[in-house]
Amino acid sequence: MFDQLSDRLQKVMKFLKGEGKVTEKNMGEALKQIRLAFLEADVNYKVVRDFEARIKTKALDQSVLDSLTPAQQVIKIVRDELTAVLGTTDKPLTFAGTPPSIFMLVGLQGSGKTTTCGKLAKWALGRGKNPLLVSFDLKRAAAQDQLRTISGSLDLPFYETTPGAMTRPREALDELLRFTRNRGYDLLVVDTAGRLHIDDELMDELKFVKDALRPTETIYIGDAMTGQDAVKSAQAFQERIGLTSIILTKLDGDARGGAALSIVSVTGVPIKFIGVGEKIDKLEIFHPDRMASRIMGMGDILSLIEKAEGEADLEEAEEIARRIRKQEFTLEDFRSQLRQIKKMGSLSGVLSHLPGAGPFKKLAGAQVDDRKLVHFEAIINSMTPQERANPRLINGSRRLRIARGSGRPVHEINQLLRQFLEMQKMMKKSAFQKFLSSMR
């Protein structure tokens, strides 16, 4: 995500560092490049204009020009202003003081609204909530089919809206609220009608549902890949029915980032979550400051640590660390590590959190084929326990057998064994052992 903008901004920062001293002339050139980078990223032109003006005012302040590291000061200014554009600080979803909390999701058809209902319910379930899912579309009774399927796959309760609800919507909504309270659900996640385009009929229906339910959160679901169209739609929803939160979906596939960089400034509504994949657990809390750091090539180590803590099996990780210290690391342990990595998502996504400079420069943003992890695991699965414990047993005939069992060519088996043996050698080096000892 944001690859295009990130590359351009890093080039601008490199240019300023090379200048040694910040002047009005080279700052003007840098601002021109920043402006072009933002416009190419499909950022709203008013947002770009204001962003550029604030940077210029702060960067050409005398205290910055007279500082010992003016370029670094300017980089900090750009990062701070980028954070402000994205929303300054992360803002959590609001839950009602007296249950149930009601999250009403709105947005155009195809934005990922129904899938996000399931993602939000799963996220809330992991935080001790007891969610109930419902689809309420006054025009299409069949609209609830997809959400019913998602609820079933998550083993979450789903409220079935009867066909008669379309003719008596107010009574149906009152009945839904009574059901939610009487059954002890503390969160009601409501999917609503969607259309390909905004029209008065849609807005009137959503306003009616909102007035009846009085939701704790009215959440706009926008497709990040539609750029300024998502921003215009969000603005229309905000003006007509009122919003409290934004969730941007498909941000992992958006190389430009125009929607994320415009929508908060244009609507005044914070982004609270981002969708970074189709799977039901691919919903992340949005941190403006961390995202600004990633765009600037500074990485996001905090999110990477949180991701690892949320997905890793700590007992297994500690056992592997113990085996490494005792130089007992085997292919069985290596397979366990591969599985831990896969839980964290794509390897490219993990590496994208690393800083784009310093020792991580070659790793950050590297395009890694995640199928390699699957292939390596298949190869290890096709080995005997003795071969996993001692890969030096694997001769030519054993390699052929493993190749047939895993469906992978012999040269991939050779590659895996070579990389594993090199890893073992590295672990035996005294410097590496000292490092591990310091981590105990």
Q: What residues are paired with 52 via a beta bridge?
A: none
Q: What token pair was written down for 338?
A: 């591969």
**8 Å CB contact between 278 and 115:** yes
Tell me the pLDDT of the chain (440 aa) as tens digits: 677 888 888 888 888 888 777 788 888 898 999 999 899 888 999 999 999 999 988 888 877 777 667 778 888 888 899 999 999 888 999 999 999 999 999 999 888 999 999 999 999 999 999 999 999 887 776 678 889 999 999 999 999 887 777 778 899 999 999 999 999 999 999 999 888 888 899 999 999 999 999 999 999 999 988 888 999 999 999 999 999 999 999 887 766 778 888 999 999 999 999 998 888 888 989 999 888 888 877 655 455 555 555 555 556 556 656 666 666 778 888 888 777 766 666 655 555 555 554 444 444 444 556 678 888 889 999 999 999 888 889 999 999 999 999 999 999 999 889 888 887 776 665 444 444 454 44
Q: What is the 3-state secondary structure (H, E, C) of 373-404?
A: HHHHHHHHHCCCHHHHHCHHHCCHHHHHHHHH
Instruction: Please state, as a whole number, how many other Cβ atoms lie within 10 Å of the Cβ of residue 355.
Output: 18
Beta strand 271-275 with 283-285 is: antiparallel
Listing DSSP states for 176-204 in one string gives HHHHHHHTT-SEEEEEE---SS--HHHHH
Q: State the pLDDT at residue 348.
A: 59
Q: State the pLDDT at residue 93.
A: 94
Q: Does residue 131 sit in helix, strand or coil? A: strand
Q: State the pLDDT at residue 310.
A: 54
In whole angstroms, what is the distance from residue 146 CA to residue 140 CA?
A: 12
Specify whether the backbone of 382 is left (phi greater than 0), alpha (psi in -120 to 50) or beta. alpha
Residue 273 identity: F
Q: State the pLDDT at residue 365.
A: 47
Residue 366 identity: A
Q: Which residues of 316-334 are buried (b: 16+ CB within 10 A; e: fewer)?
A: eeeebeebbeeeebbbebb
Question: Domains, the chain, ranges and CATH?
Answer: 3-86 (1.20.120.140), 101-286 (3.40.50.300), 303-438 (1.10.260.30)
Q: State the pLDDT at residue 139.
A: 73
Listing DSSP states for 63-112 in one string gives HHHTSS-HHHHHHHHHHHHHHHHHTSS--PPP--SSSPEEEEEE--TTSS
Evaluated on CA atoms 379, 384, 387, 389, the torsion sign reads positive
Q: Which of 164, 168, 190 is nearest to 177 (CA)?
A: 190
Torsions phi, psi for 255 (to 5 deg): -80, -15
In whole angstroms, what is the distance from residue 282 CA to residue 249 CA?
A: 10
Q: Which of 236, 217, 246, 261 is nearest to 39 (CA)?
A: 261
